């Protein structure tokens, strides 16, 4: 059998919908799920005589993303028309950016399962307007909904630097977190805010000779799962095809395939990529955008520490687990809240536990952000300190957290009111321990004899103390007294 | 009333001497009489106009302040969107298109209390130099009905010349205001690119298109420009007033032009008919007698203007007209078999020959592999032509040249020879490529009693000075008082 090795090579095109209030070139609202053709005007309908006006916010969001992707941001960028006929594109050209995109030559670090990161090159990221939607119902016609027409999209093109479905997925997930962190996109997959088009082929080495399979582009994937699986499926399919037919890169053009989510396979869409001629030329209705240093600095000032960097810092600096650090940095408001609580003197691990175990449970139930709970980072820091110095137990902390959210009051007051302050007074606890020991001679004997029953008997005695103190005894102090009395 | 200018009519309406209602009635009497011969209008709005006129009259009798065009009957070219009536661009593809919004200039006319009486004929999508390319009707020249009115704003210029409105708005992409103005013996001003909002002007060549007034006098052109000029946040290419402030063109009109220096381009003018050259030379003599200095300059790149124009304008047009596809509005073919046929058949059925020709030229010029050789090269030529003007204006206040190489030609004379037709724009195109303002004013007649125009070009955003220079001539000549015999004048 021949000696055969192969490597998957994947580059991605990603469309990210920016979360501006209005569309890219008109004042219409960007709104998901509105009644068809209700969020339209002469401009996004491409009516005769209408003219586009650039949404400055969209441009600034795109520059923020470009900066976060470590791209070079040219001071001069322009708009081009990309021509093709399709019913969901009312002008029959799309306003996009061709040879002078607003950002280029960057990279993104993605986390690998090994805990290492990998750098994936970004060729460019540019702004363009989205098309509408063709609705195919039964019958001898189609309908067109133009609500989405003109929605600002950031198109990001990566270098073919990814070598597995898992890496492609990691990039997609990391990018989602990044744009959410920046606040430039909601990146809601269900609403189609992120759409992926992987370009996939294989580098095969057989008997010392290297072959490359023809590139396949899988169109319009809108879930991480479909993205990862389509890449893995396609790799296997290309390998099989190569072994069967020997077809290699350069024999015929790039083909386009779609993903069948039910059958979990890619299906051929276009055998030979039609020789598309988009006839790009500069849009004469829009003026080029010339950034000033002042403007660029202002946009830069809105950037923040990026999520992956923050996550790594939490692990290194605060010794949090990678998992916990990931949860805290999943969105910017949680991470900011955490940072503020640490600044207010909270012990990182305790604050982390309070936020991940209680805070985020509440936000998930309420489907809101941590800021919507109307509690201050300082109060959570104080709560953490109360656990840290044993004023309250870890389990009471959860109850107090919930009470803080309900009442908006401070944790120390709530601890008093709810009778959750632990008894740590050794003298007081000692007399209770004495009482328990006197009442339970059998258990005491089990402990002192040191047999099989010792552990259970200790637990029983501790439980009795807790019962008498209504659970408020500091277990650490009780353990110490018990150890002193009965060894 | 028919001998009044728009300015005089406005003043008399505002002072209560004339009722706007009477002016509008009078205009519709004239339209009913002469329109069957001239064919200037695609649509008219008699009821609406009369209603509006009486509203303006009411305002005046109530002593309320009124706008600069109070009660004046005006017309707009049918490529400017109006919520009333259709906006056809003289094309079958938009024959029944009703715009959901008013063009910015239309809003401005209405805000100035003008009475819009109708929409004028044109070459289909403003592509042409004779209005013969209208897909809907023919317009003739009021001075000789066997001749063309020029184009593409031929309906607007014929209407003003025949006294079927007091002023009109045209659009000028390569001479479409100035050339028909010269053919019809009226004043036509193409403002600087960016001076007047294009929002609502159905695009032909977006980087060249500009709306401007067609009027009887220079003063009326200043009045109309007062109303329509200015930045518009809906048009990114309209220039900010911080960069180029608008001014009161009317008040400025009477300020003298000191030490006026005029440049002529002898080698370039030599291509015009002898009678056109004679009229130009006579006009320049008038300026000389008024104390102006005349210098001769060279503009080496003007010879390439037509070639560059027909690449740039058609390239933009091929993209601008892609939206007329039968899907969302406008003409749709009957019983298409699939969506590709909706496109191909709808467009094949409803676009005229010249529009198809230009779409094909432009599509070709933008095609992969040809872009650099055509479109990019044309942009370079455009820059050279801009440079020619920049250099010229370092030495002079304005450049004077003919508007067109000939006076109005016969209907049908050039329809089958597109290149000859394209050459009618040889003197006007450069101003569009350079983005500078240009005006055509009447400067005499040829042996056939056909009007000849004088073209004056000045630096960007110097419309005030341009109008003053044109006004000097008008004050010392009486060509503008001559009216075509057909329309009840004389």
Inter-residue contact A227 to A217 (CB < 8 Å): no
pLDDT over threshold 60, residue A274: no
Helix (H, G, I), strand (E, B) or coil at B275: helix
pLDDT over threshold 80, residue B472: yes
* Residue of chain A with shortest Cα separation from B315: A281
CB atoms B234 and A277 under 8 Å: no
pLDDT over threshold 60, residue B489: no
User: In angstroms, what CA-CA distances link A409 with A202, A360, A401, A414, A417?
Assistant: 60, 19, 10, 7, 11
Q: How are beta strands A4-17 and A194-206 bridged, if at all?
A: antiparallel
Residue B2 confidence (pLDDT):
67
Is the minimum CB–CB distance between A53 and chain B shorter than 8 Å? yes
Region of poorest pLDDT, from A118-122, A136-140, A165-169, B297-301: A136-140
Q: What's chain A's average pLDDT?
A: 92
User: CA-CA distance, B12 to B490, in Å (whole number)?
Assistant: 23
Catalytic residue numbers of B, as ranges: 77, 152, 176
Longest dimension (CA), chain A: 97
pLDDT over threshold 60, residue B488: no
Query: CB within 8 A of B465, min separation 6: which ones?
Result: B257, B397, B398, B458
What's the token pair of residue A276? 């598309």
Average pLDDT, stretch B370-396? 97
Average pLDDT, stretch B27-41? 97
Residue pLDDT, tens place only, A327-380: 999 888 999 999 999 999 999 999 999 999 999 999 999 999 999 999 999 999
Inter-residue contact A199 to A215 (CB < 8 Å): yes
Is the minimum CB–CB distance between A141 and chain B shorter than 8 Å? no
Average pLDDT, stretch A122-150? 92
* Residue of chain A with shortest Cα separation from B101: A42
User: What structural domains does chain B harbor?
Assistant: 6-257+439-487 (3.90.1300.10)
Residue pLDDT, tens place only, B196-208: 999 999 999 999 9
Contacts with A, B 373-392, CB within 8 Å: 375
Inter-residue contact B139 to B158 (CB < 8 Å): yes
Average pLDDT, stretch B430-456? 97
Inter-residue contact B123 to B91 (CB < 8 Å): no
CB atoms B343 and A90 under 8 Å: no
Among residues of chain B, what percentage have pLDDT more than 90?
A: 92
Rg (C-alpha) for chain B, rounded Å, is 21
The alpha-helical segments, DSSP class H, found in A47-199 are: 56-68, 165-182
Opening angle at CA B244, ends B241 and B245, nearest 5:
55
Residue pLDDT, tens place only, B404-419: 999 999 999 998 888 8
List chain B residues with CB under 8 Å of A93: 319, 322
CB atoms A47 and B99 under 8 Å: yes
Give per-residue burial for B309-347: e unless 16+ CB within 10 Å, then b. Answer: bbbbbbbbbbbbbbbbbbbbbbbbbeeeeebeebbbbbb
User: CA-CA distance, A83 to A86, in Å (whole number)?
Assistant: 10
Residue A138 confidence (pLDDT):
76
* Residue of chain B with shortest Cα separation from A143: B327
User: CA-CA distance, B71 to B4, in Å (whole number)?
Assistant: 13
Query: CB within 8 A of B246, min separation 6: which ones?
Result: B195, B229, B230
What's CA B297's distance to the chain center, in Å?
A: 27
What's the token pair of residue A37? 């053709």
Q: What's chain B's average pLDDT?
A: 96
pLDDT over threshold 60, residue A93: yes
Q: Which among A49, A54, A280 is the nearest to B236, CB-wise? A: A54
Inter-residue contact B249 to B404 (CB < 8 Å): no
User: CA-CA distance, B235 to B228, in Å (whole number)?
Assistant: 14
The alpha-helical segments, DSSP class H, found in B351-462 are: 353-366, 377-395, 418-423, 429-434
Instruction: Tell me the shortest Cα–Cα distance from A274 to chain B, in angstroms.
Output: 14
User: CA-CA distance, A459 to A437, in Å (whole number)?
Assistant: 13
What's the token pair of residue A435? 């009482």
What's the token pair of residue A9? 């090579």
The backbone torsions φ and ψ at residue B242, rounded to the nearest 5 degrees and listed phi first, read -70, -35
CB atoms B323 and A92 under 8 Å: yes
DSSP state of A258: E
Inter-residue contact A401 to A358 (CB < 8 Å): yes
List chain B residues with CB under 8 Å of A42: 99-101
Residue A300 confidence (pLDDT):
96
**Residue B490 banded pLDDT, cuts 50, 70, 90:** very low
DSSP state of A469: T
CB atoms B327 and A48 under 8 Å: no
Residue A275 confidence (pLDDT):
62
Tell me which residue has tokens 């990678």: A322
Residue A452 confidence (pLDDT):
83
Is the minimum CB–CB distance between B327 and chain A shorter than 8 Å? yes
Tell whether omega for the bond before B152 is within 30 degrees of 0, i.e. cis. yes
Residue pLDDT, tens place only, B245-264: 999 999 989 888 889 999 99
User: CA-CA distance, B59 to B173, in Å (whole number)?
Assistant: 38
The backbone torsions φ and ψ at residue A143, rounded to the nearest 5 degrees and listed phi first, read -120, 155
Polymer length of chain B? 490
Residue A82 confidence (pLDDT):
97
User: CA-CA distance, B358 to B293, in Å (whole number)?
Assistant: 42
Burial of residue B73 (CB within 10 Å: 0-12, 13-18, 19+) is: buried
Residue pLDDT, tens place only, B275-286: 999 999 999 999
User: CA-CA distance, B178 to B114, in Å (whole number)?
Assistant: 23
Helix (H, G, I), strand (E, B) or coil at A44: coil
Q: Which among B103, B316, B363 is the nearest to A49, CB-wise? A: B103
User: CA-CA distance, A281 to A294, in Å (whole number)?
Assistant: 30
User: CA-CA distance, B23 to A462, in Å (whole number)?
Assistant: 106
Residue A421 confidence (pLDDT):
85
Is the minimum CB–CB distance between A332 and chain B shorter than 8 Å? no
User: CA-CA distance, A164 to A202, in Å (whole number)?
Assistant: 11
User: CA-CA distance, A111 to A118, in Å (whole number)?
Assistant: 7
Query: CB within 8 A of A187, min separation 6: which ones?
Result: A16, A175, A176, A179, A180, A193, A194
Q: How are beta strands B115-120 and B73-77 bridged, if at all?
A: parallel
**Residue A30 banded pLDDT, cuts 50, 70, 90:** very high
Inter-residue contact B217 to B474 (CB < 8 Å): yes
User: What structural domains does chain A harbor?
Assistant: 4-290 (no CATH), 305-417 (no CATH), 426-486 (1.10.10)
User: CA-CA distance, B460 to B458, in Å (whole number)?
Assistant: 7
Residue A115 confidence (pLDDT):
82
Tell me which residue has tokens 């060509």: B479
Residue pLDDT, tens place only, B68-88: 999 999 999 999 999 999 999
**Residue A431 banded pLDDT, cuts 50, 70, 90:** confident
CB atoms B81 and A48 under 8 Å: yes
User: CA-CA distance, A217 to A203, in Å (whole number)?
Assistant: 16
Residue pLDDT, tens place only, A459-486: 888 888 888 887 788 888 888 888 888 8
Instruction: Tell me the shortest Cα–Cα distance from B358 to chain A, in angstroms.
Output: 16
User: CA-CA distance, B40 to B165, in Å (whole number)?
Assistant: 10
Residue A334 CA neighbour count, 13 Å, CB half: 29
3-state secondary structure B396-460: CCEEEEECCCCCCCECCCCCCCHHHHHHCCCCCHHHHHHCCCEEEEEEEECCCCCEEEEEEECCC
Q: Which among B103, B237, B322 is the nearest to A92, CB-wise? A: B322
């Amino acid at each position: 059998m021949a000696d055969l090795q192969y490597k998957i090579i994947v580059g991605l095109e990603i469309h990210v919908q920016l979360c501006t209030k209005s569309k890219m070139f008109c004042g219409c609202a960007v709104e998901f799920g509105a009644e068809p053709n209700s969020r339209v005007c002469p401009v996004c309908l491409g009516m005769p005589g209408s003219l586009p006006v650039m949404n400055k916010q969209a441009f600034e969001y795109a520059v923020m993303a470009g900066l976060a992707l470590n791209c070079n941001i040219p001071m001069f960028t322009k708009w081009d028309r990309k021509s093709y006929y399709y019913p969901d594109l009312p002008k029959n050209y799309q306003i996009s950016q061709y040879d002078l995109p607003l950002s280029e030559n960057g990279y993104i670090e993605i986390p690998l399962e090994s805990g290492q990161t990998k750098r994936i090159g970004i060729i460019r990221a540019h702004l363009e307007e989205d098309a509408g939607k063709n609705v195919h119902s039964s019958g001898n016609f189609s309908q067109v909904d133009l609500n989405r027409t003109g929605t600002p999209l950031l198109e990001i093109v990566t270098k073919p630097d990814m070598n597995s479905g898992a890496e492609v997925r990691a990039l997609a997930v990391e990018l989602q977190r990044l744009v959410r962190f920046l606040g430039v996109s909601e990146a809601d997959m269900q609403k189609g805010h992120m759409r992926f088009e992987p370009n996939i082929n294989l580098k095969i080495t057989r008997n010392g000779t290297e072959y490359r399979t023809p590139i396949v582009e899988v169109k319009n994937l809108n879930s991480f799962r479909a993205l990862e699986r389509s890449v893995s499926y396609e790799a296997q399919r290309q390998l099989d095809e190569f072994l069967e037919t020997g077809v290699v890169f350069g024999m015929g053009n790039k083909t386009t395939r779609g993903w069948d989510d039910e059958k979990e396979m890619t299906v051929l869409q276009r055998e030979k990529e039609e020789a598309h001629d988009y006839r790009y030329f500069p849009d004469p209705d829009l003026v080029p955008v010339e950034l000033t240093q002042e403007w660029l600095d202002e946009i830069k000032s809105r950037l923040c520490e990026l999520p992956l960097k923050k996550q790594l810092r939490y692990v290194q600096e605060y010794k949090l687990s990678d998992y916990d650090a990931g949860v805290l940095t999943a969105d910017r408001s949680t991470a900011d809240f955490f940072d503020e609580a640490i600044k207010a003197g909270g012990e990182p691990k305790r604050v982390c536990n309070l936020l991940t175990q209680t805070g985020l449970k509440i936000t998930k139930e309420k489907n809101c952000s941590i800021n919507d709970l109307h509690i201050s980072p300082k109060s959570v820091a104080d709560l953490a300190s109360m656990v840290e110095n044993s004023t309250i137990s870890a389990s009471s902390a959860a109850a107090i957290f919930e009470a803080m959210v309900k009442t908006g009051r401070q944790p120390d007051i709530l601890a008093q009111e709810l009778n959750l302050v632990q008894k740590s007074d050794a003298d007081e606890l000692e007399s209770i321990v004495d009482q328990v020991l006197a009442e339970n001679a059998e258990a005491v004997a089990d402990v002192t004899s040191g047999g099989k029953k010792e552990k259970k008997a200790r637990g029983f005695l501790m439980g009795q103390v807790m019962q008498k103190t209504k659970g408020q005894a500091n277990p650490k102090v009780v353990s110490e007294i018990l150890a002193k009395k009965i060894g | 009333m028919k001998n009044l200018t728009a300015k005089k009519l406005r003043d008399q309406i505002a002072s209560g001497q004339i009722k706007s209602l009477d002016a509008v009635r009078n205009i519709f009497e004239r339209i009913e009489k002469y329109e069957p011969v001239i064919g200037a209008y695609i649509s008219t709005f008699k009821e609406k106009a009369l209603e509006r006129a009486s509203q303006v009259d009411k305002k005046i009798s109530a002593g309320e302040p009124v706008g600069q065009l109070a009660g004046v009957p005006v017309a707009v070219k049918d490529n400017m969107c109006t919520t009333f009536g259709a906006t056809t661009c003289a094309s079958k593809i938009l024959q029944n298109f009703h715009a959901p919004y008013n063009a910015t200039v239309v809003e401005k006319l209405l805000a100035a209390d003008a009475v819009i009486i109708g929409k004028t004929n044109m070459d289909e999508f403003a592509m042409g130099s004779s209005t013969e390319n209208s897909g809907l009707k023919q317009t003739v020249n009021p001075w000789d009905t066997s001749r063309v009115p020029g184009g593409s704003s031929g309906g607007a210029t014929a209407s003003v010349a025949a006294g079927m409105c007091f002023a009109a708005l045209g659009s000028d992409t390569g001479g479409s205001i100035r050339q028909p103005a010269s053919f019809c013996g009226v004043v036509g001003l193409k403002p600087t690119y960016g001076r007047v909002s294009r929002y609502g002007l159905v695009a032909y060549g977006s980087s060249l298109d500009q709306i401007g007034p067609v009027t009887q006098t220079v003063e009326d052109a200043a009045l109309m420009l007062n109303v329509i000029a200015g930045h518009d946040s809906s048009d990114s290419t309209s220039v900010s007033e911080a960069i180029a402030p608008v001014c009161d063109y009317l008040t400025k009109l009477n300020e003298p032009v000191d030490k006026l220096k005029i440049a002529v381009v002898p080698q370039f003018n030599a291509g015009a008919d002898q009678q056109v050259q004679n009229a130009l030379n006579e006009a320049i003599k008038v300026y000389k007698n008024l104390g102006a200095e005349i210098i001769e300059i060279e503009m080496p790149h003007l010879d390439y203007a037509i070639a560059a124009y027909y690449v740039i304008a058609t390239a933009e047009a091929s993209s601008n007209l892609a939206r007329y596809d039968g899907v969302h509005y406008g003409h749709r073919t009957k019983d298409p078999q699939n969506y590709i046929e909706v496109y191909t058949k709808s467009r094949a059925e409803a676009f005229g020959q010249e529009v198809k020709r230009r779409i094909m030229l432009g599509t070709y010029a933008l095609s992969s592999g040809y872009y650099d050789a055509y479109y990019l090269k044309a942009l370079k030529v455009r820059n050279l032509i801009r440079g020619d003007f920049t250099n010229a204006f370092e030495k002079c206040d304005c450049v004077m040249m003919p508007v067109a190489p000939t006076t109005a030609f016969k209907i049908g004379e050039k329809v089958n020879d597109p290149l000859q037709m394209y050459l009618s724009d040889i003197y006007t195109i450069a101003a569009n490529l350079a983005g500078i303002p240009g005006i055509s004013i009447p400067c005499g007649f040829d042996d056939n009693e056909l009007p000849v125009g004088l073209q004056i070009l000045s630096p960007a955003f110097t419309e005030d000075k341009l109008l003053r220079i044109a006004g000097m001539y008008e004050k010392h000549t009486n060509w503008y008082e001559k009216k075509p015999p057909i329309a009840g004048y004389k």
